[in-house]
Amino acid sequence: MRGHKGSGPAGVAGEVFITMNLVEIPPAHRRTGNFGLAVIAAVAIVLYVGASFGPAIYDETEGQYSGAAKEMLARGDWLVPTNNGVPRFQKPPLVYWAIMASMSVLGVNEFGARLPNALATLGWLWATYLLGARIGGRGLGLFSALCLGSACGFFVFCHLIMPEPYLACFVTLTMWCFFSAWARPESAGRWFAWAWLFMGLATMSKGIHGAVYPLVAVGASVALRPRHARFWLGLLSWRGVLLFALVVVPWYAALESRYPGFAWDHFVNEQLGHSLNKRWPPTSNQVSPVVFVVQHFFFLVPAALFAPMAWLAWRRCEHARRLDGFSKHLLGCWFLATFVTSFVSARQDYYTMSAWSAAAVWLALPWASPVALPRRGFVIPLLFLIGAGALGLVAAHVISAAPGGDSVHAVPMVERDHLWTAIQGFSMNAWKRFVPLLQGTSVSFVIGGGVAVAWLWRGNRMAAGLAVAGMMAVPLLAAARGFCLKENYFSLVSVARDINRVADAGAIAVYHGEPNLASSLFFYLGRRVHWVGARPNADFAPRTLGVGRELYLSDEQFVSRWTGPGQVFLMTEESCLGEWESKLGLSAIQRQPVGRSGTRVLLCNDPRVGRRPDVGARE
């Protein structure tokens, strides 16, 4: 541990601050730590990259990003993202560019589309290590990355193609630069310039909140610690702002020049509107406040189970002058500012992910801090994990013995729009194929928890922490397999392949519902999609520019197409078949589905198209 005067640009004259150095690894444990670091790094790479081979591209964000990248690559256009040939202006292009670069090398397939997401995730873990190491030394960095990388929610969301891993990686690197500027006042200007660069990349990943989140955290920190304001004046440098502008402005300027009004809709309606839940028209349902708060605990399991010890370590490190006020307040402001702004926004499950590194550093303290902590505070959560493993084995037996055969009941896709509703939306039989995965997870909890308790009894808290993180490899692999088992319920890959197999060149494909619920078609279907029962005014291009508006059919227009010449394929929820039988006057053969993806069925007006026996949804 070291301290120095803050009389220079780093802070108020005469103030002494202490750089955290929470972990001095004992010589006897150093080899264990090095070996553990190498093993965990290898497991993370294999897990996150290897899992990129599957499942099929899901609807919602996965299809929107991978489908747009596929279309851009086919056109050789690196400027305008499109879905179904219609400009998609909701998000900036960095994620599209990464997927295009990957697919240009690996081909247009699931792995090529997902690999950039996996690499962004690994970059985020590395950034979290750097952050923790800068705040408290190598040990805190290691356990910060472990707490994040072994978290259930982290794997689930990072396995899906979405901008959050990119955003979180660059925001975390921005915060690392802030801490580095504080720790290295003689080179603070350079660190602040790097921070602006990373904020620019974060902005190009998802939007202007890539800069807003860190800057709001800085503002909150200054409000709590006014004496640090002088230090933060260094952030307002022309060099840094120029770097930010060079990264961000060119693409936005090019799009605005081609599509006047784009910037206003993008920043005001899309981004500000989402942040205040005032976007018009609304395109998503908010997660309920209670679920939003409670699920954050489960997202960060298993590290979250040791939150009481994290709080105790936080307090004792402070009293032992091992935690400077700057670190404490900036970490807290970062997480709280992100959480509060996400809470009042359109509020989706994953909106706080860009601040999860702050939570990971805090949750790493019990494992990395040398301050005395009660052993029972670790043993009790570990016994809970062991008990959960035992209950999991019982639950696996109950599920496998449940009556009902192979028939599966699931609610329509539109009702499975959040993580919690997706889990709730299936009957008991839907989980029978998960029994081996549940058994493996349960055994891992029992063995991993037991090994961690044994290491704690020997006084090696570091090895116990490595055991807790390591035991999550099996559950996370089970989650990856679970994504594949349920792919037909969240993707139209099967339906798209059926259309590609039997459709004439002039056939039209029509989806009953909003485009985001069928976005996997953008990746798999070899033709443009029409929509019935959807809102053409939901997006800027059809609403303001009129681009793609012809793809939206009224019920009357669709009925005319269906009863007219030419093949027409209709994709709809099985629960809506009665409605369409009445509107279309379906013949006996037209009522027989051509294909199925989960709860959604494919109908065709052409009786010559081969049908498949359909006996209800099966796994």
8 A C-beta contact, residue 8 and residue 185: yes
> Can you spell out the DSSP letters for 532-583?
ES--GGGSHIIIII-TTGGGEE-HHHHHHHHHSSS-EEEEEEGGGHHHHHHH
Is the pLDDT assigned to residue 150 strictly greater than 70?
Answer: yes
Q: Is the pLDDT of residue 492 over 60?
A: yes
| Contacts of range 216-223, beta carbons closer than 8 Å, 24 or more positions apart | 216/337, 216/341, 217/175, 217/330, 217/333, 217/334, 217/337, 217/338, 218/178, 218/330, 218/333, 220/333, 220/336, 220/337, 221/326, 221/329, 221/330, 221/333
Buried b (16+ CB within 10 A) or exposed e, 361-394: bbbbbbbbbbbebeeeebbebbeebbebbeebee
Question: pLDDT digits over 406-454, tens only?
Answer: 667 788 888 887 777 777 778 777 788 899 999 999 999 999 999 999 9
Distance CA 346, CA 463 (A): 41
Which residues sit opposite 83 in a β-bridge?
Answer: 86
Judge whether residue 6 has pLDDT over 60. Answer: no
Mean pLDDT of the chain: 88
Q: Are 204 and 93 contacting, i.e. CB atoms less than 8 angstroms apart? A: yes
Q: How confident is the model over 155-210, as pLDDT tens digits?
A: 999 999 999 999 999 999 999 999 999 989 999 999 999 999 999 999 999 999 99
Tracing tokens 């601040």 back to the chain, one arrives at 355
**pLDDT for residue 45:** 87
**Pairwise CA distance, residues 607 & 590, whole Å:** 7
Give pTM, 2 decimals.
Answer: 0.92
Burial zone of 458 (CB within 10 Å; 0-12 exposed, 13-18 middle, 19+ buried): exposed
Q: Which band of pLDDT confidence, cut at 50, 70 and 90, is reported for residue 613?
A: low
Q: What is the pLDDT of residues 71-97, one digit of tens each?
A: 999 999 999 999 999 999 999 999 999
- Residue 11's pLDDT band, with cuts at 50, 70 and 90, is very low
Percent of the chain scoring above 90 in pLDDT: 72
Per the CB < 8 A criterion, the answer to whether 359 and 154 are in contact is no
Instruction: Say how far apart CA 316 and CA 307 lie, in whole Å.
Output: 14
User: In sequence order, what are the residues at sequence separation of 6 or more whose Cβ sits closer than 8 angstroms to the Cβ of residue 147?
Assistant: 300, 303, 360, 363, 364, 367, 469
Cis peptide before 55 (omega within 30 of 0): yes
From CA 115, how far away is CA 93, in angstroms rounded?
17
